[in-house]
Structures are given as structure tokens and as C-alpha cells.
Amino acid sequence: MKWITRERPKIDRIACPWLIKKFVDSEAEFIYVPFNQVLEKAKELNATPFDIPDVEFTHYEDQSTFDYIVKKYEIDDPAISIIAGIVRGADTDRHDIAKESAGLWAISAGLSYNITDDYKLLETGMIMYDALYSWATHLYRQNHLQNSPFENLLHEVYNKFLKDKKSGTKTPAWVQGLKEIIQDQIDAQFAFDLKKISSELDLNPSYLSREFSKHFEDLNFGEYVRKLRIEKAISLISNSSHSLTEIAYMTGFSDQSHFTRIFKSHTGKNPSSYRKKNKKSNPDTKGK
């Protein structure tokens, strides 16, 4: 069976051929001609016109031609019902019908812009609708973020962040929680693990890394933790008799050379020089 419609297809005029070939007639042939030639060529070629005014296969009220074909041929498939809403929203610029409608319109318009041959465009569009059908059949309930537990947390945190922002909350609740976690470890070995902390706060590590500096002295997570380690080291150097190696270990550095390098970058002095200078300026600490 032959079907004919106007040239330069985008939504319905690609979605309908895909639907017809998949559920109505796998051998169907589709013809694109200028709008003013559709009816004349339909008679000449004994083809069924579609998606133009005043023919059977067209829009009815708020329904698209795709909707009519589904109804006409009694296509009872949950995935097709999903796709019908997406096509209807994209073809009528009512993207509120389905959140995917805007995406379908954007991709369809882009394909039409890139591919000037209508039949090549149809061939490419068929692949696109095959993919959409697979998604609607198997993946409709699955979010992209489900593929990664950390990305899923990011999605949840982002929504919570937006909610907090709308309610006028200046500082997200997780900031105080993170400060408490860090404070709990100040006197321990600074065994900070971003993923573990993110899990405790019910946050995504990527989100936490990105938002961290806004609430912690304009420092990223690593810089802030290093700053606290050095502050703790300074306190131990000034107020304890621990060796520098012990202090390096107690403040979470992997070895003394690493500790020395980071300490010097923060204070301008290596730890031993800092201790000597501190003892000279505070003689009452010598016996500690």
C-alpha cells in the first residue's frame, strides 16, 4: 500500500510511517511531494494521503495523525500509548503533554535541518523511532541516574537543594552536617573519605565537591581538609612533645616528607623550623 504526504517531514510525517510499517503494513511505501500536489498525486498513484487537512488520516481536535492511526487500527500496545503522547506534544508544540516531547521536537527538527533528502530523513527517523519504542517498552520507568547510585544521589540532592533555595534557606542543611563530621575527626587521624562522607550526608560526591567551596572559605574539599590538618599540626607542634613523624601520622599525612611539603606551603616554614621558632618565642612550652 502506498501512502503520500507533504514534503520536508519532521514529527507526524516520520512517526506515522514508522507506526504503519511496524503495526499495519511492513511493505508500505511512502511518498513525499509538495503540499499542493498531495491530493493530485494520491489519485494518480493510488496512494492514501495523510497528515494534511481534509483527509481521513489527519489531526482531529487535539489528536495527531499518529493518534488517529493508533485508533483506526486498534493498536493496543502500552509503549505506543506512551509514544503517542510524546508525538502529540511534539507535533502540536504542547510539550507539557509529555516531558520527552521537547526532546523529540529538537531531534526531529535537527535531523530535518541536517538531512535534505526526505527519504534519507525517513530512513534515519525510522531508527530513531525504533529506539524510542525500545525505551517506551523496556526503559520507561528507568531514569538515567539509576545507572549510578552516586548520580542518583546527585539527582536527589539537586532537587533538595532547589527546594531549600526556593524556601529561602541560605545554607543547605548538609553544610552543618559536614562541619560536624569534620569536627568529629579533628582530634583523630583525619581519615577523610569523600564517598563515605557523602554517603553519611546522603549526598552525591560530585555535588559535594562542586558545592563545597561555596560554604567552606572558598576552598575545595581537599584544600579545606589540608588546612585543618595543618592547623591541627601547628597545635600539636606548639603544645605537645610528639615527634614530627608522630604529628605527621596523627594529622593524616602519608609520610613526613609529604607532611613537610604541605606544612611549608601553608606556613612558609618546614615543621622543624616552625617548632624551633615557636619554642624560642614561647619558652614555657619547652617542658611540655
pLDDT in tens, 3-30: 999 999 999 999 999 999 999 999 999 9
**133 and 8 together in one domain:** yes
- Among 135-139, 158-162, 237-241, 278-282, the range scoring the smallest mean pLDDT is 158-162
**58 and 183 together in one domain:** no
Question: What local confidence, expressed as pLDDT, does residue 189 receive?
Answer: 46
Does pLDDT of 137 surpass 50?
yes
Confidence grade of residue 261 (pLDDT, cut at 50, 70, 90): confident
**68 and 47 together in one domain:** yes
Does pLDDT of 158 surpass 70?
no
- Give the residue from 117, 139, 161 where a domain finishes: 139
In a domain, 58, yes or no: yes
Question: What local confidence, expressed as pLDDT, does residue 167 receive?
Answer: 55
Q: Which of 109-113, 155-159, 178-182 has the highest mean pLDDT?
A: 109-113
Radius of gyration of the chain (CA): 33
In a domain, 144, yes or no: no
Residue 49 · residue 42 · CB < 8 Å: yes
**93 and 202 together in one domain:** no
**Treating both helix axes as pointing N-terminal to C-terminal, what angle do 78-91 and 65-72 enclose, rounded to 10 degrees?**
150
| Backbone region of residue 53 per phi and psi (left: phi > 0; alpha: psi in -120 to 50; beta: other values) | beta
Confidence grade of residue 219 (pLDDT, cut at 50, 70, 90): confident
- Give the residue from 109, 139, 169 where a domain finishes: 139
**175 and 212 together in one domain:** yes
Question: What local confidence, expressed as pLDDT, does residue 144 receive?
Answer: 59
**22 and 125 together in one domain:** yes
Question: What local confidence, expressed as pLDDT, does residue 175 receive?
Answer: 72
Does pLDDT of 213 surpass 70?
yes
Does pLDDT of 280 surpass 80?
no
**131 and 213 together in one domain:** no
pTM flag (> 0.75): no
In a domain, 215, yes or no: yes
In a domain, 158, yes or no: yes
For 93, 103, 152, 157, the CA distances from 208, given in Å and listed in that order, are 37, 29, 13, 9
Question: Average pLDDT, stretch 43-60?
Answer: 96
In a domain, 145, yes or no: no
Question: What local confidence, expressed as pLDDT, does residue 286 receive?
Answer: 47
Q: Could you tell me the three cell numbers for 153? A: 544521589
In a domain, 146, yes or no: no
Q: How many domains does the chain have?
A: 2
Tell me the residue type at 225: V
**95 and 165 together in one domain:** no
**229 and 170 together in one domain:** yes
Question: What local confidence, expressed as pLDDT, does residue 244 receive?
Answer: 86
- Give the residue from 139, 163, 182 where a domain finishes: 139
The three-state DSSP-derived secondary structure of 170-205 is: CCCHHHHHHHHHHHHHCCCCCCCCHHHHHHHHCCCH
**111 and 234 together in one domain:** no
CATH classification of the domain holding 253: 1.10.10.60
Q: What is the domain range of residue 274? A: 151-285
**223 and 119 together in one domain:** no
**184 and 268 together in one domain:** yes
Nearby residues of 221 by Cβ (< 8 Å), 6 or more positions away: 194, 208, 209, 212
CA–CA distance, 227 with 213 (Å, rounded to integer): 13
Residue 216 · residue 210 · CB < 8 Å: no
CA–CA distance, 228 with 213 (Å, rounded to integer): 14
CA–CA distance, 186 with 191 (Å, rounded to integer): 10
Alpha helices, DSSP H, located in 27-117: 38-45, 65-72, 78-91, 101-114
